[in-house]
Structure 1
């Protein structure tokens, strides 16, 4: 099975699907068409026995994903009520689409903001040595809720809080992300896909029911806390984020310097 929705590439072999976010000119940011394509792809994987493990990566070596494409989504109307916030990225992750087949994230550059939807819903992360991680929300007057909650399931409290509050001023190296537990392995950039696909092939060779049952068991260890936290996210975003016009001004005037740690 091969599928290539908008902004995506999908290659399959021996029970493993390699999904590539394919918008390198936009640092693999997600527009509405790509978001819809991802949702359709996860659901397609859910319904086929041909795919047992998925590796998710980004095109090129500059970025894994930089979250939502602001140009593509500027001006999307929002309900006035904080109880009805529309999140264009809400269903871009595998777990949001009830897919419980293992997903390995192969991070090959910048991973920031909405990329954490993918990282938070992957089973584990393998990173290229040059990969970096940061959350720009607060810099642009936005509440980091869904992203920070996802990272809070994977990193120590202080590390999540620091990354969420520092915005674009500081980026985590792949090595630091490994030390905090966010990343399970750091490899040279040229070895990233080979490492991820080799790992996926091992998992795909195991009985699929046992693998999926294990995924569900481990997820259940933190799923209740995550679900409870996510219930508060829309209200916090609606109440704490600046108007879209002001966010756009801050984005246009964004700083180009940052500290790497």
Structure 2
């Protein structure tokens, strides 16, 4: 089975039971626009109903980035009320779409900002040595809310706080991300996808109901904390974000220098 859509590529191997979902906007560093959100939701829905797929690998096209979050050119209509803030990325991940098949993320290059919605809804992350992780929100006068909530379930508090608060001034290397638990394995340049597929093929070889029940149990372990944190997010974003115009000014004036640790 193979299917090509505008921004998401789906390829599945019926012999191994592994599907590879590729974010396919390399010219935009795989940034997520509203089309990709819709196509990701459609892809996860399709995989829910395909019993021949028993494990999934999520990756990004190209060498420069896994995903750089929401596309800054995407027009996202927002109601004026702080009680009705809309975040399109909340509907982009596998768990948000009820997919309880295991998802392994394969990261090459940059993973930042809204990429954490997808990494936060994956079971584990394999990265190659070119991978770097950072969150630019604070640099541009924005609250890192949902990203922080999701990463707080993956990393020690101090590491999450440092990544979110340092903004674009600092990036976490694959090695550091492995040391703090965000990444489960580091491989050579360009080898993350193959390594993730190998893991997924092993998992796909096990009885699926036991695997899916385990995925659901693991997600349930942190579900209450995530729900409470996410419930605060719209208000914190409404209170803390600068105006879009001011954000754009800060983005245009951003410094290109950064430290990798």
Relative to the length of structure 2, the TM-score reads: 0.97
Q: How does 1:14-33 map to 2 (within 5 A)?
A: 14-33=16-35
Residue 117 of structure 2 is matched in structure 1 by 117
Q: How does 1:199-214 map to 2 (within 5 A)?
A: 199-214=199-214
Q: How does 1:26-175 map to 2 (within 5 A)?
A: 26-73=28-75, 76-175=76-175
> Moved runs in structure 1, 4+ residues, more than 6 A?
none
Relative to the length of structure 1, the TM-score reads: 0.97
Q: 1:18 & 1:195 partners in 2: Cα distance?
A: 12
Instruction: Give the deviation of 1:146 after TM superposition.
Output: 0.5
Unaligned runs of 5+ in 2: none
Computed over aligned residues only, the root mean square deviation of the Cα atoms, in angstroms, reads 0.9
Q: 1:208 & 1:181 partners in 2: Cα distance?
A: 26
Q: 2:4 & 2:84 partners in 1: Cα distance?
A: 32
Q: 1:114 & 1:214 partners in 2: Cα distance?
A: 26
Q: 1:6 & 1:60 partners in 2: Cα distance?
A: 16
Instruction: Give the deviation of 1:3 after TM superposition.
Output: 2.6
Instruction: Give the deviation of 1:2 after TM superposition.
Output: 2.4
Residue-pair matches, total: 259
Q: Helix, strand or coil for the counterpart of 1:181?
A: coil
Unaligned runs of 5+ in 1: none
